[in-house]
Amino acid sequence: MGEDYITSVLKETRVFYPLKNFSANSLIKNMEEYKALYKYSIENPESFWAEKASELEWFKKWDTVLRNDQGFFKWFEGGYLNVCHNCLDKNIRKNKDKLALIWEPESGKSKTYTYEQLLKEVCKFANVLKNKGIKKGDVVQIYLPMIPELPISMLACARIGAIHSVVFAGFSSDALKDRIQDSGAKLLVTADGSFRNKKIFPLKDNADKAIKECPAIKSVIIIKRAKNKVIIEKGRDYWYSDLIKESAISNFCQPESMHAEDSLFILYTSGTTGKPKGVLHTQAGYLLFAQQTFKYIFDIKNEDIFFCTADIGWITGHSYIVYGPFSNGATVLMYEGSPTFPKPDRFWKIIDKYKATVFYTAPTAIRALAKEGNSWPNKCRLSSLRLLGTVGEPINPEAWLWYYEIIGKKRCPIVDTWWQTETGGILISPLPGATPLKPGSATIPFFGIEAEVLKDDGSKAQANEGGYLVIKKPWPGMLRTIWNNPEKYKHTYFEKFGMYLTGDSAKVDEDNYFWIMGRTDDVIKVAGHRIGSAEVESSLVSHKAVAEAAIVPYPHDIKGQAIYAFVVLKNGNKKSDSLKEELKQHVSRQVGPIAKPDKIQFADDLPKTRSGKIMRRILRAIAEGTKEYGNITTLAEPNVVEVLEKGKIN
Ligand code: WTA
C-alpha cells in the first residue's frame, strides 16, 4: 500500500490507497494483514468468534459457539452476560469520567454524559420501568425523537432484560399502532413532542391515537421535550420527570443476567410483502458483532469523537450510535434536527464545534449537501476529521469524490459500509488502514463473512456479472427470526438458495470488490429509508377514491430513488391535481412523510399478465424512462403500455 492516493480518469479504475500515516496507526495496516485474518476467520469461524467474544465480559462463559437448530442459528449458548453492563459498567472501571454521549439539539444547547453519568441515568430509567411492572422478556415500545432519553431507555431495557422495539419518530400513528400490535408491547415510552426545523411534531398525540387500538399497553411514560400540551390519561400516562422523583428510585440497578440467545430488541423493517416485519436480534451475538465491526471498520481510538447522523429509529443508530460505540467505550455524538436546518452547514459546524474525528452519514445527505455548494463546508475547518463513512444505499462516484475532496480534504479514507437491519452490523466495507478504495464500491467482506453473488440457478456469477448477493455462513450479528413469524424468516432469507439471501443485487469485479446494485425485491430505498411497495400501495388503495395502485422507484438526484405511483381510480372519481395532493397526504399520514409518492400518474389500467399479476418491470421502465420493458407478449392488454407512456409524469 505504498502509493499515496492516485486517481485516474477512468471511472472503474479509480483507486485511492490509504495514506501511509493512516495505515501505520491502524488496527489492520495492510491487505496482507487483512487477508491473513480473513482467511483464519473463514476457515475457523468458531475459534475466531470465540477469541473475539472474550473481549466481552461474561457472567458465565458459553458452552457452544454456534449451533444450527433446524435453520435457526444460536450463538454462544450456555453463556450469560448483560449488554448494558458491557456498554457502561465495564467502561466505567477503565475511565468513569470519559464522555460517553454528546447530544446536539437544534437549539445548540448541548448536553453531555460521562460514562458514569450515563450509567446513573440508565439505572434510574431501568428502575422506573421495573416499578411500572416491566420484567425480563417484556416488550417496551419506544417512540422518541433524537434526545438522550432514547439511548438511555434502550440501555435501561437491556439492563433489566426487557426487549426494546424502537419506532422511528417520523412514523405516523398508524405505523406505530401496527408495530405495537405486532410486538405486544406493554409499555410505551414517548415524548410530548419533537423538534424538526423549529416545528413541533406531536408525538404524544400520535401515540394516543395508536394505543386506542393497542389494549396491551398498560403504561405510557412521557418525556418532556417540547413543552407541548398533551392529554394525560390517569392511571396510564406518567411524566418521566415525576416518576424519577419518587423516593424508591435508586441510582443503581443490578444488571439482569441474560442468556446469550435471549431477545435484545425488535426492529421493524419493510420487506417484500405486507406489513413491516419485526427483525429480532439477541444478546451476545449482536453485541459482539456491533462491537467488533465498530472497532475495526471505524478503526476506533480512545480519543475519537464519533459522529453518526443516523436516527436511532433505524438499525444504523442502534448499532453505531448505541451498542457499537458504547461497547467500545467510545464517545459518540448524536444530533437532533436535519442536515440543512437552519443552514446547510449544520453538520460541518457540529464537526468543528466538537472536533469530531469520524463522521458517518448517508449518500442522500451527501448529495443534498454537495448540491448546496462548497462554500458551506469551506467556511468550516473540518480539520479534526480523520475518517468518513457512508451507509444506506449505493453512493455514486461523483458524491463519493465530493465527500472525499471537499469534506475529507483528500486526507480521510471513506468506508462505504454495506449492511442491513437483518445483519445487525456491517458485512461489507473497507478497513480504512488497509483497503484500497474504489468510489462506489463497498469493497470487501468483514472478518467471518463469506459473501458471494449467485445467478438464478444458484451457480456463482462471473466477474462483473450481476446476481443475487448471498452470505454463505451464519455470523453472530445476524437476525435470529422474524417476531411472531418464524416461517417467514425461513422463507424470506433461506428458501431460495439455502443460505442467507440479502435481497440485494450485486456484482463482484476482478479484484473481488463488491458493487451493490440495488434491491431485487419490491423494497425501495428513498433517501436511504427502506420502503415496502406493499405498504404504500395498500395505503393508496385504502383511500376511498382508489381502486388499484402500483408503485415503483425512479432515479432521483438527491434521494437516490423516489416513488412513482400508478393509480387507478374508482368509477365516478375525477382525475385532478387536488386529488393527487390528497393521496400524497393520505400516504404521508398513514405511513409517514418518508413514504409519500413524489409522482402520481392516474391510469385507466395497469399492465397485467393474463393471470392478473401486475408487471412491475414495465411500470418501472416507464417511470425510469428507459423503455426497456422486456417481454410484453404475456400482457393481457398490450396497448396499455403505450397509453401509460403517453400519460407519463416528467
Ligand atoms: C441498502 C441499513 C449500497 C441495501 C444499514 C440493503 C446499501 C439495504 C448500503 C438495507 C451500501 C445499505 N451500499 N446499498 N453501503 N448500505 N444499503 O435495513 O439495499 O435500512 O439491503 O439497513 O440498504 O437497509 P436497512
Summarize pLDDT for 24-38 with one digit per residue, the tens.
Answer: 999 999 999 999 999
Is residue 311 lining ligand 1, measured as CB closer than 6 Å? no
pLDDT of residue 275: 82
Is residue 416 lining ligand 1, measured as CB closer than 6 Å? yes
Is residue 504 lining ligand 1, measured as CB closer than 6 Å? yes
Distance 365 CA to ligand 1 centre (A): 15
pLDDT of residue 634: 86
Please check the confidence at residue 11 and state whether its pLDDT lies above 80. Answer: no
How confident is residue 180, by pLDDT bands cut at 50, 70 and 90?
very high
Residue nearest to atom 14 of ligand 1 (CA): 393
Distance 622 CA to ligand 1 centre (A): 25
Where residue 288 falls (left for φ over 0; alpha for ψ -120 to 50; beta otherwise) is alpha
Distance 540 CA to ligand 1 centre (A): 26
What stretches of 376-477 adopt beta strand conformation (E)? 387-391, 414-417, 451-454, 467-471
> For 242-264, what is each residue's pLDDT tens digit?
999 886 788 999 999 999 999 99
Is residue 73 lining ligand 1, measured as CB closer than 6 Å? no
- Compute φ and ψ for 60, nearest 5 degrees: -145, 135
pLDDT of residue 1: 31
**428 CA: nearest ligand 1 atom:** 15
Distance 563 CA to ligand 1 centre (A): 17
Where residue 137 falls (left for φ over 0; alpha for ψ -120 to 50; beta otherwise) is left
Cell of 291: 462491537
pLDDT of residue 337: 93
Distance CA 267, CA 163 (A): 10
257: nearest Cα among 139, 329, 158, 154: 158
> For 324-337, what is each residue's pLDDT tens digit?
999 999 999 999 99
pLDDT of residue 247: 66
Distance 438 CA to ligand 1 centre (A): 18
Query: Who's near 369: CB < 8 A, 6+ residues apart?
Result: 339, 340, 344, 347, 376, 377
Please check the confidence at residue 237 and state whether its pLDDT lies above 90. Answer: yes
Please check the confidence at residue 298 and state whether its pLDDT lies above 60. Answer: yes
Is residue 561 lining ligand 1, measured as CB closer than 6 Å? no
Distance 418 CA to ligand 1 centre (A): 6
Is residue 392 lining ligand 1, measured as CB closer than 6 Å? yes
pLDDT of residue 198: 82
Residue nearest to atom 24 of ligand 1 (CA): 420
Please check the confidence at residue 12 and state whether its pLDDT lies above 70. Answer: no
Distance 211 CA to ligand 1 centre (A): 31
Per-residue burial over 335-344, b = 16 or more CB atoms within 10 Å of its CB, e = otherwise: bbbebbeeeb
pLDDT of residue 9: 35
Q: Over pLDDT 70: what percentage of the chain?
A: 98
**394 CA: nearest ligand 1 atom:** 3
Q: Give the residue, out of 390, 530, 559, with the most ligand 1 atoms within 8 A of its beta carbon, to mutate for a pocket test.
A: 530
Is residue 418 lining ligand 1, measured as CB closer than 6 Å? yes
Distance 235 CA to ligand 1 centre (A): 42
Is residue 276 lining ligand 1, measured as CB closer than 6 Å? no
Q: Are 448 and 41 in contact (CB under 8 A)?
A: yes
Is residue 419 lining ligand 1, measured as CB closer than 6 Å? yes
Please check the confidence at residue 272 and state whether its pLDDT lies above 80. Answer: no
Is residue 477 lining ligand 1, measured as CB closer than 6 Å? no
Cell of 453: 453473488
Kindly state the average pLDDT of the residues 509-517: 96
Is residue 286 lining ligand 1, measured as CB closer than 6 Å? no
Distance 465 CA to ligand 1 centre (A): 20
Strand 451-454 with 414-417, pairing: unpaired
Is residue 580 lining ligand 1, measured as CB closer than 6 Å? no
How confident is residue 195, by pLDDT bands cut at 50, 70 and 90?
confident
Residue nearest to atom 10 of ligand 1 (CA): 420
> For 579-623, what is each residue's pLDDT tens digit?
999 999 999 999 999 999 999 999 999 999 888 889 999 999 999
> For 353-395, what is each residue's pLDDT tens digit?
999 999 999 999 999 999 999 999 999 999 999 999 999 999 9
> For 531-558, what is each residue's pLDDT tens digit?
999 899 999 999 999 999 999 999 999 9
What letter represents residue 509's amino acid? D
User: What mean pLDDT value characterizes the chain?
Assistant: 95
Q: Give the residue, out of 277, 493, 525, 526, with the most ligand 1 atoms within 8 A of its beta carbon, to mutate for a pocket test.
A: 525
Please check the confidence at residue 140 and state whether its pLDDT lies above 50. Answer: yes
How confident is residue 633, by pLDDT bands cut at 50, 70 and 90?
confident
Cell of 362: 448517508
> For 386-435, what is each residue's pLDDT tens digit?
999 999 999 999 999 999 999 999 999 999 999 999 999 999 999 999 99
Residue nearest to atom 23 of ligand 1 (CA): 392
pLDDT of residue 5: 33
Kindly state the average pLDDT of the residues 151-171: 97
Cell of 179: 408495530
pLDDT of residue 437: 98
Distance CA 186, CA 163 (A): 11
Residue nearest to atom 5 of ligand 1 (CA): 420
Per-residue burial over 175-186, b = 16 or more CB atoms within 10 Å of its CB, e = otherwise: bbbbbbbbbbbb
Distance 424 CA to ligand 1 centre (A): 12
Lowest mean pLDDT among 10-24, 140-154, 452-466, 499-513: 10-24
